[in-house]
Structure formats: structure tokens, C-alpha cells
């Protein structure tokens, strides 16, 4: 059952978390009338929103047609909403880049794997990419995020703990190690193991072959009807220096209200579409992290409470997060306890160690 909730946006400065104040506080502004639409169980309602833009003659009407995605808040055809989301593990070693399909995800998580190498997990619902990958192996903490959206989990093998969890938690498993070449395939333009791909049609086919249920049951975030600032500090740039050679960063473009992603100084492009990857919202989630074996595998605690940052519309706010169980959605709150509202659009969530320092401006 999809459950609507509420959210806001945030702000920034050059540092870590200590200078952020006042996020989520209300300013004296003209009253805004909000209309709440109660949705039927498991069925979003078609909504048409009309915005008036002042002209010299008469208001110009801009229509939103369809229903909002429960994952991103972006409007889509209703038939594209009534599907089970799927989560894909993406390789992020240098030989795997650029990746295909990330520009069509609704949420992208970036979390450390072994060493200073991160992996992505992308959540898809309304879009059905023709090329997705390179696909890599599972880690248990990514499962905690995939289960928030009751998603099918797409990967190629995994750590011993991840594979054990997939079985015990009865996750909708779509692994390259148990599927044929009609579901996963290798491309010759990259070296193994960084060259394994799939697509949305193949993933849906695999789910059907396994008789996985199509109905979904997950909570949702809260979305603004229109983009809003979050009342925080100004933020036009944020960098996550994972290592000397890997420093992903986002730069804000005020004209379209998007953060454009770069790896070091180069634009991070999608392999298939060649689109520059962007985010409407960025969450920085700090989590307790420790190395647990000689392979460099990590234990990352994503259940409980912690601190973070919320970035959107050129502003950054300090927030807290709470996740009550492995399947529960992670909620984000301003310092005054109010739950944040996301702006409709793609969200990147960067999960970083508690002692990790960002570079911002």
C-alpha cells in the first residue's frame, strides 16, 4: 500500500555539519493553500495540476498530466506506476564507467564497497531503460535500501552475508549467476568483469519466470507539488573525496534547479543516452561504518538514527535520519522535528562514514 508523506528541502556552506542552522523554520510569506488528495489503496489518482504564469495578456496554463511517482514525485502515465520497482547494483570501478541507465533511475544510492571504491544501486519504476549496467555483486547494506521500496533486486552474485540475507529475507532475487544470456549478457567494449549488462525488459521477463508478485507494499516520501527551497544555507557545490583518484561532486545550475554530477573534473555522463547525470535532491547520510574482514568488506549500520544533510534548489540543511527496521523506509527530519519534503525529481543519496569530511561551497 503506497502511503503519502511529507518533505522539504535544504541548504549549504563549506565544511561538514556544524554550521547549518535554521532549516525547516517558517518565514513570513504569503499563505499557500495546499490540497491533499487521498489515494485509494494501491492506486494513485490521476491528478491534473494547473500553474498560472503571469503574462502581459492572460495567464498561461502549464499542465501536469498523469500521476506522481511514489518514488520521485515526478509525473508519469498511470500504467507506468502500477509495476514493482527494481533495484540494480552498478559497478563503479574506473574500467566500468560510464554506466548505462542511471539517468533514468528515480533514486541512486552511492555507498562504499571494498577499499575506497563505491558502488551504485539505482531504483527504477516509471522508466524502462533499454540498457542497464555494468551489473555487479550484492552487499547486505544495499538490501536495506532496496527493501524500502519492496524492489526486485538485480545483481551478479554477492558477499556471503548478502547472499544469505537475500534468501532469508525472501527478496525478489534476479542474479546473473542463476539466469541465462537472455537476461544478462557481456559487451565487448569493456573488460570482464566490468562489462555485464541487462535491460528493463529482461528484468521484467526474469521476474515473470520466477513468478514474483507484482503488487507492492511500501511507504513513500513526501513531495512538494512544485520546487521549494528548504530555508538553509546557500550551496552551489559539494564534493565527496572518497580517495585521491575518485572525487565525485555536484555543481548547481540555478537556471534549471539541478545539481550536475562530475567525477573529478569530468562530467558524469550516461553511457547509453550521453546525458549529463543530474539530481534535483541530494541526501548525505552519515552512518557507522567498519571493515569486517580481510577482503575489506564493510558493515554499515543503516538501521537506527543518525545525522545527515539535505541539498536542493541551491540550499543545504542539517537533518537527522531514522530507520526503524531493515524493511522500513528511512525518514529524514529537520532539526525542529518536521519531516523534509523532497522536490519532484531524481534523488542521489550518498551514504558516507560518520567521520567523512565533505568539501562544499
* Residue from 347, 344, 326 nearest 123 by CA: 347
Please name which of 169, 106, 206, 156 lies closest in space to residue 326, comparing C-alpha atoms. Answer: 169
Whether 350 and 234 share a structural domain: yes
C-alpha 140/C-alpha 276 separation (Å) is 30
Q: Is residue 73 situated within a structural domain?
A: no
Contact 117, 92 (CB under 8 A): yes
The DSSP secondary structure of 37-69, one letter per residue, reads -PPBTTBPPP--EEEEE--SSSPEEEEE-SEE-
Is residue 86 included in any domain, yes or no? Answer: yes
Q: How many domains does the chain have?
A: 2
278 and 311, same domain (yes or no): yes
Assess whether 119 and 84 both reside in one domain: yes
Tell me phi and psi for residue 168, to 5 degrees: -70, -35
Q: Are 125 and 106 in contact (CB under 8 A)?
A: yes
Contact at 8 Å (CB) between 341 and 277?
no
Judge if 162 and 234 occupy the same domain: no
Least Cα distance to 240 among 16, 10, 13, 89 occurs for 16
Measured CA to CA, the distance from residue 233 to residue 11 in angstroms comes to: 4
Cβ-count burial of 239 within 10 angstroms (0-12 exposed, 13-18 middle, 19+ buried)?
middle
**Residue ending a domain, choose from 157, 185, 209:** 209
In a domain, 215, yes or no: no
Residues 18 and 122 reside in one and the same domain = no
Residue 43 lies in a domain: yes
Say if residue 225 is in the same domain as residue 355.
yes
Query: Looking at the structure, do residues 189 and 86 belong to the same domain, yes or no?
Result: yes
162 inside domain: yes
Of 107, 71, 8, the closest CA to residue 347 belongs to 107
Q: State the alpha helices, DSSP H only, in the chain.
A: 78-81, 140-146, 160-168, 200-209
Q: DSSP readout, 83-125?
A: S--EEEEE--SGGGPSPBSGGG-SEEEEEE-STT-EEEEEEES
Instruction: For residue 110, give the CATH number of its domain.
Output: 3.50.90.10
Q: pLDDT (tens digit, 0 to 9) for every residue of the chain, 361 residues total?
A: 554 443 333 333 334 444 444 576 544 344 433 333 343 444 444 444 344 334 445 445 567 889 999 999 999 999 999 999 999 999 999 999 999 999 999 999 999 999 899 999 999 999 999 999 999 999 999 999 999 999 999 999 999 999 999 999 999 999 999 999 999 999 999 999 999 999 999 999 999 999 999 989 899 999 999 999 999 999 999 999 998 899 999 999 999 999 999 999 999 999 999 999 999 999 999 999 999 999 999 999 999 999 999 999 999 999 999 999 999 999 999 999 999 999 999 999 999 999 988 988 8
Q: Report the chain's C-alpha Rg in angstroms.
A: 20
Of 209, 240, 268, the domain-final residue: 209
Note whether 275 and 203 are same-domain residues: no
277 domain residue, yes or no: yes
Question: DSSP 3-state assignment of 148?
Answer: helix
Domain boundary among 179, 209, 239: 209
The domain of 41 spans 3-68+221-360
Amino acid at each position: 500500500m503506497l502511503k503519502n508523506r511529507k518533505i522539504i528541502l535544504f541548504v549549504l556552506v563549506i565544511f561538514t555539519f556544524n554550521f547549518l542552522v535554521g532549516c525547516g523554520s517558517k518565514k513570513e510569506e504569503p499563505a499557500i493553500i495546499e490540497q491533499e488528495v487521498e489515494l485509494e489503496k494501491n492506486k494513485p489518482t490521476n491528478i491534473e495540476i494547473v500553474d498560472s504564469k503571469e503574462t502581459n495578456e492572460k495567464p498561461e496554463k502549464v499542465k501536469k498530466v498523469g500521476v506522481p511517482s511514489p518514488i520521485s514525485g515526478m509525473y508519469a502515465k498511470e500504467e507506468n506506476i502500477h509495476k514493482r520497482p527494481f533495484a540494480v547494483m552498478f559497478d563503479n570501478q574506473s574500467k566500468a564507467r560510464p554506466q548505462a541507465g542511471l539517468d533514468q533511475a528515480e533514486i541512486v544510492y552511492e555507498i562504499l564497497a571494498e577499499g575506497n571504491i563505491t558502488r551504485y544501486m539505482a531504483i527504477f519504476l516509471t522508466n524502462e531503460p533499454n540498457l542497464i549496467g555494468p551489473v555487479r555483486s550484492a552487499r547486505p547494506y544495499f538490501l536495506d535500501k532496496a527493501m524500502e521500496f519492496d524492489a526486485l533486486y538485480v545483481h551478479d552474485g554477492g558477499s556471503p552475508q548478502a547472499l544469505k540475507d537475500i534468501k532469508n529475507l525472501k527478496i525478489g532475487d534476479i542474479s546473473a549467476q542463476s539466469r541465462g544470456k537472455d537476461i544478462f549478457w557481456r559487451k565487448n567494449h569493456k573488460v570482464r568483469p566490468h562489462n555485464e549488462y541487462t535491460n528493463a525488459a529482461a528484468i521484467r521477463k526474469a521476474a515473470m519466470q520466477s513468478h514474483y508478485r507484482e503488487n507492492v507494499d511500501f511507504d513513500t516520501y513526501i513531495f512538494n507539488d512544485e520546487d521549494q527551497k528548504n530555508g538553509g544555507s546557500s550551496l552551489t557545490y559539494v564534493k565527496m573525496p572518497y580517495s585521491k583518484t575518485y572525487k565525485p561532486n555536484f555543481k548547481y545550475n540555478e537556471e534549471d534547479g539541478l545539481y550536475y554530477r562530475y567525477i573529478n573534473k569530468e562530467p558524469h555522463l550516461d553511457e547509453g543516452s550521453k546525458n549529463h547525470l543530474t539530481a534535483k535532491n541530494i541526501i548525505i547520510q552519515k552512518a557507522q561504518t567498519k571493515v569486517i574482514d580481510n577482503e575489506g568488506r564493510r558493515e554499515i549500520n543503516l538501521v537506527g538514527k543518525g545525522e545527515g544533510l539535505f541539498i536542493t534548489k541551491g540550499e543545504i540543511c542539517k537533518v537527522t535520519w531514522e530507520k526503524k527496521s531493515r524493511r522500513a523506509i528511512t525518514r529524514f527530519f529537520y532539526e525542529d522535528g518536521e519531516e523534509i519534503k523532497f522536490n519532484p525529481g531524481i534523488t542521489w543519496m550518498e551514504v558516507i562514514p560518520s567521520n567523512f569530511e565533505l568539501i562544499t561551497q
